[in-house]
Structure 1
């Protein structure tokens, strides 16, 4: 155990705000430099070309039937950077001729690799690095959220440690700038959790609006962003439990106020989701139709013996236009792949479908030993704060996404 003088030396950094900001800026810069240095070196991954093409098409045509398997927000960020850089747009009419997935991959390859036609300037060696630089904003958002959230909870020293762990974590550096939806979901869902915590520390209308906005961002980057709903509900329940016997308000009043706040956050969040689809139900503009209608796509998914409860609710959402058509179409697309699932290969064994231990094994393999050791130490340290709600804001989101992945029959990623 350190002496009082040693402990004071360790925590003295909290009294040097200029040093804190300089160190934070240096760590953030190091994180960005590592990601951007890799943007020109890493070969294109399987979905990056299609995502980049779709993001440009959203700005060009507002055709959300292109690549609807993921909500548009993250791809639109990549497309916006390309538009600012005046990258030649994909050739072909607006809306696109076909929204079939195979056609989308072919069209994106034609745009990125073709050496003739109006898209000559849209070369893959220029387009993908630019799009990746746009996507790096989500990694930057994750780092800054971690710094300020941890600083708000545990102080300056802890905030710097968390930022350093992010800045030099190989997995985050490797995935931080890819034109995929994973980092975007990590950043926005963490931001939603952080804003939910801040709202409960200061219950004001601006903080409530901020929580709703951040919830909407998580919903708008990836379909698994819906797990933010379960996460916020569990955290709201935890807040009620920890606040049950405190204050002068009656328990009934506390429950009603908490329920009203959560409902508003979710309602506002889905409003943000609608905004990314231009508040339009139809997936495509000018009356254009999808390559396969939503009803036919659901029928085809049912024919694969899909048993998802969510699939049974989609006709209701579609009939009443509760959610955008492209969002629902993408949800069916995800369900058609994930249930009953695909074969999985793990540690020399081929399984007919996903297995629960897959994602646990992936985490243990991909995560550095130092990070695993620190995670275990943090769990031990949290046992000393049995009446502290703060550790739950880190544990609950992690467990929700992990359990969702374990019960999934789709073992990829």
Structure 2
């Protein structure tokens, strides 16, 4: 009997050790020396580097050196992209499918839902996210839908992650607000006056909670406020640590979003959609340092001057420099984010600002630009090797690195 137990324990120990070894291998972050023909760093100096080597270790970019004369230390695996462009992974700032959902995430009950957190649904190795990776998207903001005026908080999801800890880059990552263009249909039907009234009442309560805690932490008051889960995440909103993603489109509604949510409540805003004639509010956005994350509609027929225009391009032409794009997945799949850029450029936007909108600008508004969005030493190694210009439909993704690991290779099975 004793021998049987010892044999059983030995087999069990071997099995546990094998599983632990397999998990360790899966979580390992190899060292790479990536030979790149052209690197668009997307940094503040707008540097484009030709014929360089990007050294990657422990999930981070170590250094970038000219390829000529460079020595590759032992332990680094060479990845040859001498004929390719390397860019930061694209960032989709508006997704409802960055989880296992097959369609839109519409999980709410009331006209305002302050306690809901979509970030809790972020998962790893899902169909949607793997398809996104093949399209060059390595990060997405997962948010609830727009069927109510305040549908809850979103979370920033890392595609290609191996654990939930890696996948959840930040949660909460934003507050989702919709001021018109869907919530009217909730329950028995609403008008804009009632929607704005009800939303304002919710935000007033949330701001009071934030103010009580701010005063306590600053020593203005001595009594510790009671914790309330419904309002706790709003401390990040009113502290301007995370933005509000505002489903708002036409000029009048976009203007109201800025005067109400920014001016009255002091929120950090990104206009999420900003289509049709929304660009006419560009002067207000510039003054308030508001971002416009345009999509899924990227072109608009202006019946006044009878022209077809790029929605993002019109914001840019009006002077706003903080412009990005989204897919509103599942309106469009996340992997179509590059197509959003392609069409925006086709209808009048400039190529380099459009690339910024999918990388650096997107990372800035989400507050994660210290980690992703540009290629520089110390940043996360979320890198995509393209066969050429991402906005040229003849180009495709050759290889994707997420947190320093290879998570997609077209040589195995090209999807796009």
- The TM-score with structure 1 as length reference comes to 0.26
User: Between Structure 1 and Structure 2, which shows a larger proportion of strand residues?
Assistant: 2
Task: Return the structure number with greater helix share.
Answer: 1
